[in-house]
Structure 1
Amino acid sequence: MLRKGALALALSSELVAAAINNTTPSLGFNQTLEQTWAQYSPYYPAAEYTAPPDGCSIIQVNLLQRHGARYPKKSDGKAMKKSAEQLQGASSFNGSEYDFLANFTYDLGTDDLVPYGAAQSYDAGQLHYTRYASLVSENMMPFLRASDSERVVESALNWTAGFAYASNQQYAPVLSVIIDQSTNDTLDDNMCPNVGTSDDETTDWADVFAPAIADRINAAAPGASLSNSDIVNLMMLCPFETVANEAPSPFCDLFTLDEFNSYEYYGDLTDYYGNGYGQELGPVQGVGYVNELLARLTGQPVQDETQTNHTLDSSPTTFPMNLTFYADFSHDNQMISIYSALGLFAQPHNLDPTQPDTERTWQVYKMVPFSGRLITEKLSCTADGETGEYVRILVNDAVQPMDFCGDTGNGLCTLDNFVESQQYARLNGEGDWALCTD
């Protein structure tokens, strides 16, 4: 499916001004609290971007980006509305932080990108043009694909608008391919009906952290009779109302920072056991994208028997080779599967659903915040008179260690070693793909 477009979602005047200056406005919180919102955290760079080592130059970049901030999914919205109304039904309230409930009405939309999310993608387009301008020319434009979800498509189009603005309209990329999510799609986790869920693990953790919060709020709001799931729903209202209204939600004031730290771990468990290493069929859903990435890095045809669309990937129109800039737009769950297929953020043991590991690297606010991004850079490096090709991966600007392919200590692996390290993808998930439908 081919489509062209311009800015997909109108931005408020404040957001336009901020986006043009590449400074999406603060939502009114310190970053510490926003980062406890797990997969609903606003984008922020997990580290300061570092240029490649001396003697190295970037010759290709592959961007994979999550859509920007959105309204909640229908099921989450229904659950949050119900829990908010249950709290409103208390016979009385002890504390001024509950005063807003007298006039509160749940009014969030469903699924769609919010203006703040549009600005995030616009910012990213500016940033990526500025960073990788040397790879772009009239004859070598970024090639864009998006999974066919409205919020993902709009994010891609807003990215192109930001990219064009940063280049003074000299380079205006187009969205060339929109992949139907009802068919083979490497940018959405829709093809593994036998995949399990993280419900058991997240319920176990809610049973640990939520009762004390429920007891506190129920004491302050007699008659509310909030359950553990109600607590999770009310905490979820904090990020969703904040990104939708571009102002702190009053629901955020009902909980302490320590309590939100527990909510963050709830999100970590959700993705770890939903699409990550803790889910038997999680990593295999990222195999198709990894094999497409290997094809782009090596200039060889895609070799994959999982969720790739062979019609699209075999055509130079819909899967061109030997370009310098590729940009794909996707969802957080699919990105988690891709990280896991690649071998990023590997844990020494599965996350404990009753006790957070404070040393874990699996923290989804660093991995898939709204507008989060994975960037794979292909580099040409010269040392001692010899030139070779290397790969470096960044997640939200943080260079990722890649011990699995002989990381030399600066995030670089030789291209050959990186390709060799991806045996799980190259072998089509080593039998896991068949388990998706057997």
Structure 2
Amino acid sequence: MVLTVGLVLSLSCGFVTATINYITPSLGLNQSLEQSWAEYSPYYPASEYTAPPDGCSVVQLQRDGAHYPKKSDGKSIMNSVEQLQGAKSFNGSEYEFLTNFTYSLGTDDLVSYGAAQSYDAGQLHYTRYASLLSETMMPFVRASDSERVVDSALNWTAGFAFASNNQYAPVLSVIIDQSTNDTLDDNMCPNVGTSDDETEDWADVFAPAIADRINAAAPGAKLSNSDVVNIMTLCPLETVANEAPSPFCDLFTSDEFASFEYYGDLDNYYGNGYGQQLGPVQGVGYVNELLARLTGQPVQDETQTNHTLDSSPTTFPMNLTFYADFSHDSEMISIISALGLFAQPHALDTTQPNTLRTWQVSKMVPFSGRLTTEKLSCTAEGETGEYVRILVNDAVQSMYFCGDTGNGLCALDDFVESQEYARLNGEGDWALCTD
């Protein structure tokens, strides 16, 4: 099976059922609110995990856990908070905390809650896929060379070892330098566009009413649309950092957070997803590595793969039962799009959300989100053979593009054939990254 988003697991296995007790602490907020924070949402299963059909055996990727904001984002957030605190007065008890508030979030690093998320994930994956393992069949673990991604991987291996009573203690075998060819980071396409226009268009729709309301309650603050977005972002970031509800959450309604969630959906769709011409191509290298693992054939790719690493059995072994890769949410979005998952019949509207859309990043790449690819040897629809099933945060994905008959299964050969975009190195898009 193979996962995507920070952690990548790839397995070829037998299935066992088991339960596990999670230790990640509660954040103390309504779950529906936490699930409206787009890519800042804490991990939650998008569906209850279901075992493959009877007679099948299984094959498994994950994102970094909850962390502090990036340096540039943190600076923007801090400036917006200072703008709000510059108000002449505050009208309403929900604003009282601002008189003594000091911004204290760090930069980039994994927070304790994020470490616990990854540790829990390691326990879960051992419990779910223990039958894949033996003394000679240990998980092979890679991570992109970002401190929080590496820390996520190490916490995952610790949780995995703990759940097995240290019978199986996987190690982080490969850390891929992000300044070089790296299929676990979106750093090799300098010509890629941004989602700035699309997110600004949506902010112009939903943020003015919020800014007017807060500016009326905090005269002199003069918040802009971008200030509103920055301050809303503090709700999830402070909540996961402090493992307690942030007072900034009380400044906004659930409907306003639904608009915030759509802001994140647009950001990812037009940043690394289908709405960005050079978004999906940044996931092609990983998809080609996945195809190699599924078929047992050497990696065939001319995009962002590291040929030195991928040609060595030490740094890219083949025919193992379990692979785990750790990456970033943006790269996972590119991988999801390169695979053809969560495709929308129409581009996301920047002026009005489609409530029936499947593109909701809180269900795709929450903190510690997972994309899992299972390789199954089984009898399905009366045919015995090898099949592929993909799950995103435990929700089985419909793969119409390779003949999914309704149970999420595609024949392995049909799945490989369906990945023509990756097999053809992005059909010319990769050249546009640098031309």
Find 2:327's aligned residue among 330, 339, 348.
330
Q: What residue in structure 2 maps to residue 78 of structure 1?
A: 75
- How much has 1:384 moved relative to structure 2? 8.6
- How much has 1:385 moved relative to structure 2? 8.0
Q: Output one character per residue of 1:275-332: Cα deviation in whole Å (capped at 9) or x when no partner.
A: 0000000000000000000000000000000000000000000000000000000000
Matched, 1:88 2:81: no
Distance in 1 (CA, whole Å) between partners of 2:136 and 2:397 is: 31
Matched, 1:152 2:155: no
- How much has 1:57 moved relative to structure 2? 1.9
Distance in 2 (CA, whole Å) between partners of 1:384 and 1:254 is: 53
Q: Output one character per residue of 1:369-426: Cα deviation in whole Å (capped at 9) or x when no partner.
A: 0000000000011259853000000000000000000001100000000000000000
Distance in 2 (CA, whole Å) between partners of 1:393 and 1:383 is: 16
Distance in 2 (CA, whole Å) between partners of 1:21 and 1:411 is: 27
Matched, 1:117 2:101: no
Q: What residue in structure 2 maps to residue 23 of structure 1?
A: 23
After superposition, where does 1:336-375 map in structure 2 within 5 Å?
336-375=333-372
Q: Output one character per residue of 1:100-149: Cα deviation in whole Å (capped at 9) or x when no partner.
A: 01110001000000000000000000000000000011110000000000
Q: What residue in structure 2 maps to residue 140 of structure 1?
A: 137
Report SS of the residue matched to 2:386.
strand
* Aligned residue identity for 2:222: S
Report SS of the residue matched to 1:36.
coil
Find 1:395's aligned residue among 392, 397, 401.
392
Distance in 2 (CA, whole Å) between partners of 1:47 and 1:182 is: 36
2:23 touches 2:116 (CA, 8 Å); kept in 1?
A: no
Q: Output one character per residue of 1:14-50: Cα deviation in whole Å (capped at 9) or x when no partner.
A: xxxxxx9423111011110001110000000000000
Distance in 1 (CA, whole Å) between partners of 2:210 and 2:148 is: 34
- How much has 1:86 moved relative to structure 2? 1.0
Distance in 2 (CA, whole Å) between partners of 1:384 and 1:87 is: 61
Q: What residue in structure 1 maps to residue 125 of structure 2?
A: 128
Distance in 2 (CA, whole Å) between partners of 1:83 and 1:183 is: 35
* Aligned residue identity for 2:113: Y
Distance in 1 (CA, whole Å) between partners of 2:401 and 2:139 is: 29
Distance in 1 (CA, whole Å) between partners of 2:261 and 2:315 is: 38
After superposition, the Cα gap between the structure-2 partners of 1:385 and 1:198, relative to the gap in structure 1 and judged at 3 Å, is closer
Matched, 1:303 2:333: no
Q: Output one character per residue of 1:236-266: Cα deviation in whole Å (capped at 9) or x when no partner.
A: 0101110100000000000000000000000
Q: Output one character per residue of 1:38-74: Cα deviation in whole Å (capped at 9) or x when no partner.
A: 000000000000000122121x2x2x11000000011
After superposition, where does 1:179-328 map in structure 2 within 5 Å?
179-328=176-325
- Give TM-score, length-normalised by structure 2: 0.95
Q: Output one character per residue of 1:183-218: Cα deviation in whole Å (capped at 9) or x when no partner.
A: 000000000000000000000000000000000000
* Aligned residue identity for 1:202: T
Report SS of the residue matched to 2:373.
strand
Distance in 1 (CA, whole Å) between partners of 2:55 and 2:237 is: 45
Find 2:420's aligned residue among 406, 417, 423.
423
Q: Cα RMSD between the aligned structures?
A: 1.0
Q: What residue in structure 2 maps to residue 8 of structure 1?
A: none
After superposition, the Cα gap between the structure-2 partners of 1:385 and 1:214, relative to the gap in structure 1 and judged at 3 Å, is closer
Distance in 2 (CA, whole Å) between partners of 1:33 and 1:366 is: 13
Report SS of the residue matched to 1:388.
strand
Higher relative contact order at CA 8 Å, sep ≥6: structure 1 or structure 2?
2
Report SS of the residue matched to 2:35.
helix
* Aligned residue identity for 1:334: E
Distance in 2 (CA, whole Å) between partners of 1:312 and 1:44 is: 33
Q: What residue in structure 1 maps to residue 44 of structure 2?
A: 44
* Aligned residue identity for 2:411: T
- How much has 1:152 moved relative to structure 2? 0.3
Distance in 2 (CA, whole Å) between partners of 1:365 and 1:85 is: 28
Matched, 1:178 2:175: yes
After superposition, where does 1:2-21 map in structure 2 within 5 Å?
21=21
* Aligned residue identity for 1:255: F
> How many residues matched?
416
Distance in 2 (CA, whole Å) between partners of 1:233 and 1:352 is: 22
Distance in 1 (CA, whole Å) between partners of 2:326 and 2:372 is: 12
Distance in 1 (CA, whole Å) between partners of 2:333 and 2:265 is: 11
* Aligned residue identity for 1:31: Q
Provide structure 1 residue ranges, at least 5 long, that are not aligned to the other structure: 1-19
